[in-house]
A and B are shown apart, each in its own frame.
Chain A
Amino acid sequence: MTALATGTNEYLEDFARLERREGGNPAWLAPTRKAAISRFAEMGFPTMRDEDWRFTNVAPIAGAVFRRAEPAAPGLEDIRPFLLGATARNRIVFVNGHFAPALSLAARGPDGIGLMSLRRLLGEAPDALAAHLTRYADYRRHAFTALNTAFFEDGAFVRIPAGQVVEGPIHLLFFSVPGAEPTVSHPRVLIVAEPGSRATFVETYAGLGDGVYFTNAVTELVAGEGSVVDHYRVQQESEQAFHIGMTRLHQHRSSNLASHALNLGGGLVRSEVHAVLDGEGCDCLLNGLFVLRGDQHTDNHLRVEHARPHGNSREAYRGILDGRSRGVFTGRIVVHKGAQKTDAKQTNMNLLLSDAAQIDSRPQLEIFADDVKCTHGATVGQVDEDAIFYLRSRGIGVEAARSLLVYAFAAEAIRHVKIAALRERLRALLLARLPYGHLLEELA
């Protein structure tokens, strides 16, 4: 091996320490972890010279020293604002990357599903995970996924047995409690929806208190043949936090998957979704909303791979950018050879609320089949002045009018959220974040 890439030393030393420990590292996983860390050593952190990272500078992450986060013990009252009410009968909570059983909840009876801590399962019955865990998210091409694969200690495993219909959302929550020094956690999620099952999953990533920390999360979700899966990822990290999130979706024949990325928090955020339609007749909806202010930076990086014929994908991302915030949208659609009758559509609409805010939006199409329909479109605009005047001419003040139009723009993305409690919560969060949002009290 040649000289190590900069910023990687700490991680390599840490990995060496971790490897000497027992547990959480079954025989089939150990070589993968080792391969991941050596791949990370080769690649190093990405730079802005990498095409995929052209608009996002991760030097603040590469240059910082993060300690592995220690367990912390917030109470139920601390996390209640993030919960989804009585309908969410299955809930698993992690704090600083560690399973918090006292805050978690598992339904009994007909809603009983496989929901548990990865760490526990890796210790007790690791072979149950061997077929899926680390098999989808590609650590060879992604430095942060490599780091997560090498380091993850805990996370959530959910299995929906074949044919089972689960009512109510299954909620996975990852809290960070910032300490005196910057900390890092590598949460890992594996969701397996077996053939013919139906379920709804919500992942929440949030900071409890302000401070610098780094969340490097990887989710692998497998939608079995004919399954119907709704997936939500709500990111509300502290505005000083770094958040790198990789969501790897793998769809089998005739599965129907909707994945919603709602990015509201974080200082430097990369929100990545990589969907592979690996069976005929898959339906895939990727819906996104990012709402930025101050100096927030959020990079939405999407890759939809149509690997089989008759696949249908829709990507609809909306961004609202205020202050000096910076947004990126990259949407790549790859249609493999033989994936005929693919129908792929991508839209990215952005609303800039200040002159200093900036968005870079780029569609990328790679098409290797000849009978396909692929469309894309992006817009960047300000609030419509004609509409503002119309509202003002009806007695609505200029601030409320502006706020209402921004809210309405975002509401188009929230409309697709099927969980009433989550929709209401997102509406409230949005109103709290919008300038003059409090003026829209009639919305309540």
Chain B
Amino acid sequence: MTAPILEIRNLHAGVDGHEILKGIDLTVRAGEVHSIMGPNGSGKSTLAQVLAGRETYQVTAGEVRYQGKDLLAMKPEERACEGVFLAFQYPVEIAGVRTSYFLKTALNAVRRYRGLEPLDAVEFLAKVKDRMKLVDMDERLLNRAVNEGFSGGEKKRNEILQMAVLEPKLAILDETDSGLDIDALRIVADGVNRMRGPDRAILVVTHYQRLLNYIVPDRVHVLVDGRIVRSGGKELARELEERGYAGVEGQPAGAPAVGV
């Protein structure tokens, strides 16, 4: 068994005293792809945001270890530099900041943190153009303001591009399939699949099973009302698609895994 990248134990979190995550336990190891599925309002996005360090949410109990370190003690930018990446469900538009500048600033911040020399303009451009091929992205988008005027599909591709440029150890994809047509979905999924590797863990947060036809997970976890109520292999996703979430609700956490 490979080393755990992410270990979540009894995580409780919420907003202004309203508890959303009610005791999450989850271990993701290097090389694995896990999926968190669940109905709307189950806490999927909250989990993704808490892992990325969003200060809107308060952690009230539990711990999260990332490569053995206390993740919750780190600022969002430290987490990113340590190799945690969140692909946003709603990527933010930033007027006046060119995509190329944004990517270069981010990459060089991460490189400096990791003790690497910052890339100069030529090296950076070579790298980013190479990674753009991964998600079939138009190079002209580099000269546009970050996400401004991007279509839904372009925004999601831009998220995967950032992931490919920053090369995280743990990538969390939050509803990456939402708002994508089938062609765009395939492109984005291909991009993610090419990022799969023995040193990297990927957590796919999604409402629908559709994305998991393309990004086939090693493990599937069902999140209902802030708790993981069931875990299993990739078959679990299909079962959920057929029977809906109603079938799994109310089952105790830690129910026996299906398959694998």
Contact = CB atoms under 8 A, between A and B. Distances in A.
B88 interface: yes
Interface string B124-156: 000000000000000000000100000000000
B94 interface: yes
Given A392-B80, A393-B80, A396-B109, A412 B166 contact: no
Interface in A337-391: 384, 386-387, 389-391
A408 interface: yes
A409 B106 contact: no
A409 B97 CA distance: 9
Contacts of B70: none
B98 to A, nearest CB: 9
Interface in A406-433: 407-409, 411-412, 415
A415 B95 CA distance: 12
A390 B94 contact: yes
A178 to B, nearest CB: 36
B106 A395 contact: yes
B105 interface: yes
A397 B113 CA distance: 11
Interface size class of B (residues with CB under 8 A): 20 to 34
A393 B53 contact: yes
Contact of A397 (B102, B109, B162): B109
A387 B77 contact: no
B91 A397 contact: no
Nearest to A397: B77
A394 interface: yes
A405 interface: yes
Given A398-B77, A404-B97, A393 B52 contact: yes
B80 A387 contact: no
Contacts of B80: 392-395
Nearest to A408: B96
A442 interface: yes
Contacts of A128: none
Nearest to B90: A386
B245 interface: no
A396 B77 contact: yes
Nearest to A409: B96
A394 B75 contact: no
Dominant SS among interface residues on chain B = helix
Interface string A257-290: 0000000000000000000000000000000000
Given A395-B110, A409-B96, A412-B96, A390 B105 contact: no
Given A389-B76, A408-B95, A396 B105 contact: yes
Contacts of B108: 442
Contacts of B86: 393
A398 B78 CA distance: 10
B92 interface: yes
A18 to B, nearest CB: 49
User: A384, A386, A391, A409 — which one has the most chain B CB atoms within 10 A of its CB?
Assistant: A391
B91 A390 contact: yes
Contact of A411 (B54, B76, B96): B96
A442 B54 contact: no
A408 B106 contact: no
B95 A395 contact: no
Contact of B104 (A384, A392, A407, A442): A442
B81 interface: yes
Contacts of A407: 96
Contacts of B95: 408-409, 412
21 contacts: A386-B92, A387-B94, A389-B55, A389-B76, A392-B80, A393-B76, A393-B77, A393-B79, A393-B86, A394-B110, A395-B81, A395-B107, A395-B113, A396-B77, A397-B109, A400-B109, A404-B105, A407-B96, A408-B95, A442-B104, A442-B105
Interface of B: 52-55, 75-77, 79-81, 85-86, 88, 91-92, 94-97, 101-102, 104-110, 113, 145, 162, 166
Ranked nearest first, the 10 interchain pairs of A and B with the lowest CB-CB distance are A408-B96, A395-B80, A394-B106, A392-B76, A390-B92, A395-B110, A395-B109, A392-B77, A442-B105, A408-B97
